[in-house]
């Protein structure tokens, strides 16, 4: 059954996207869930649409535009919150709405028709480009190295920032680096699930992992495995049922969470 997936170049690319996407989303997602910064990630996700709109308007890569705008928004939120110029939830709300509004305006102002827009809103893994795959692969390697090299500090920052500051004087730098990595993970996975659904790609697998373990390292590993199983199953189902891939992947991940919930509940009864 799977032999046909290797006969076509675009299907093979999609399978690679599933692999790299599950690694990046599993690692970054575990951090944002542990750090309880899902709302912040949602702000980054939707504000990045502003970068997509501007990129369309000036004729540059939408992914690059989204990456620049998403990282700038994340750093802006982090800076405003740390300096207490405005509450974090208010800053997120501002940039969330501003990014979406800006994206819609610039897409409207762009001459001609933008047929690729829907793939950024709702995902289109079948149209993923080589540059997207290379960027995802590089980001996966960076995340693996970074989290393995600085695991203990990242663990402290995620669960007890106060203690982390007694452990290292570089906590603020690491927070900025981590938020940049999270932003890039969100942007590069937009092709898989779209702006509307990509946050679920980062939050559902870690919540599946939390049903089985409270250990952060194991949480990351289980998140990657659960993400890969859910994304691959959703992709295969969407291909054979001829239904939207991004939505099917998220639906499959939710179904996997429900099954995991039932299994773990029975285990402890």
Q: Tell me: the pLDDT tens digits for 162-189?
A: 787 887 778 888 888 888 899 899 888 8
Query: DSSP states of 98-160 as a string?
Result: HHHHHHHHHHHHSSS--TTHHHHHH--GGG--HHHHHHHHHHHHHHHHHHHHTHHHHHHHHH-
Q: State yes or no: pLDDT of 86 exceeds 70.
A: no
- Tell me the Cα Rg of the chain: 18
Residue predicted with more confidence, 128 or 144: 144
Q: Write down the residue that tokens 């004729």 correspond to.
A: 59
Tokens of 71: 């990282």
Quick one: angle between helices 171-188 and 190-210, nearest 10?
120
Average pLDDT of the residues in 152-157: 88
Q: Of the ranges 17-26, 38-47, 131-140, 239-248, which one carries the lowest mean pLDDT score?
A: 38-47
Average pLDDT of the residues in 229-239: 90
pLDDT of the residue at 25: 92
Mean pLDDT of the chain: 83
Q: Distance from first CA to last CA of the chain, Å, rounded?
A: 38
pLDDT of the residue at 1: 47
Nearest in space to 65 (alpha carbons), one of 231, 209, 188, 215: 188
Please state the pTM of the whole predicted model.
0.86
Distances 244 to 21, 108, 217, 234, 250 between C-alpha atoms, Å = 17, 25, 33, 10, 10
Distance of alpha carbon 9 from alpha carbon 6, whole angstroms:
7
Q: Which CATH superfamily is domain 2-268 in?
A: ABC transporter involved in vitamin B12 uptake, BtuC (1.10.3470.10)
pLDDT tens for residues 45-62? 888 888 888 888 888 888
Q: Write down the residue that tokens 């709702």 correspond to.
A: 122
pLDDT of the residue at 139: 93
Structural domain boundaries in the chain? 2-268
Cβ burial of 7 (10 Å; 0-12, 13-18, 19+) is exposed
pLDDT of the residue at 253: 93
pLDDT of the residue at 247: 85
Q: State yes or no: pLDDT of 259 exceeds 50.
A: yes
Tokens of 139: 């980001």
């Amino acid at each position: 059954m799977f032999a046909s997936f290797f006969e076509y170049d675009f299907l093979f690319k999609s399978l690679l996207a599933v692999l790299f996407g599950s690694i990046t989303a599993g690692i970054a997602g575990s951090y944002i869930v542990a750090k309880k910064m899902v709302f912040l990630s949602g702000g980054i996700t939707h504000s990045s649409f502003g970068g997509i709109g501007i990129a369309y308007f000036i004729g540059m890569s939408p992914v690059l535009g989204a990456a620049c705008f998403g990282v700038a928004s994340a750093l802006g939120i982090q800076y405003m919150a740390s300096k207490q110029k405005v509450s974090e939830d208010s800053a997120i709300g501002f940039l969330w709405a501003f990014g979406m509004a800006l994206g819609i305006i610039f897409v409207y102002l762009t001459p001609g028709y933008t047929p690729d827009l829907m793939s950024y809103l709702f995902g289109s893994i079948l149209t993923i480009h080589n540059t997207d795959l290379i960027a995802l692969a590089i980001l996966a390697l960076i995340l693996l190295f970074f989290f393995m090299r600085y695991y203990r500090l990242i663990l402290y920052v995620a669960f007890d920032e106060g203690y982390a500051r007694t452990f290292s004087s570089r906590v603020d730098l690491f927070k900025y680096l981590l938020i940049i990595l999270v932003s890039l993970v969100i942007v590069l996975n937009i092709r898989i699930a779209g702006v509307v659904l990509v946050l679920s790609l980062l939050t559902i697998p870690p919540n599946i992992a939390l049903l089985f373990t409270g250990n952060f390292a194991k949480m990351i590993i289980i998140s990657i495995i659960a993400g890969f199983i859910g994304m691959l199953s959703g992709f295969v189902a969407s291909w054979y049922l001829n239904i939207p891939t991004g939505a099917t992947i998220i639906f499959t991940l939710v179904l996997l969470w429900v099954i995991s919930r039932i299994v773990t509940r029975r285990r402890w009864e």
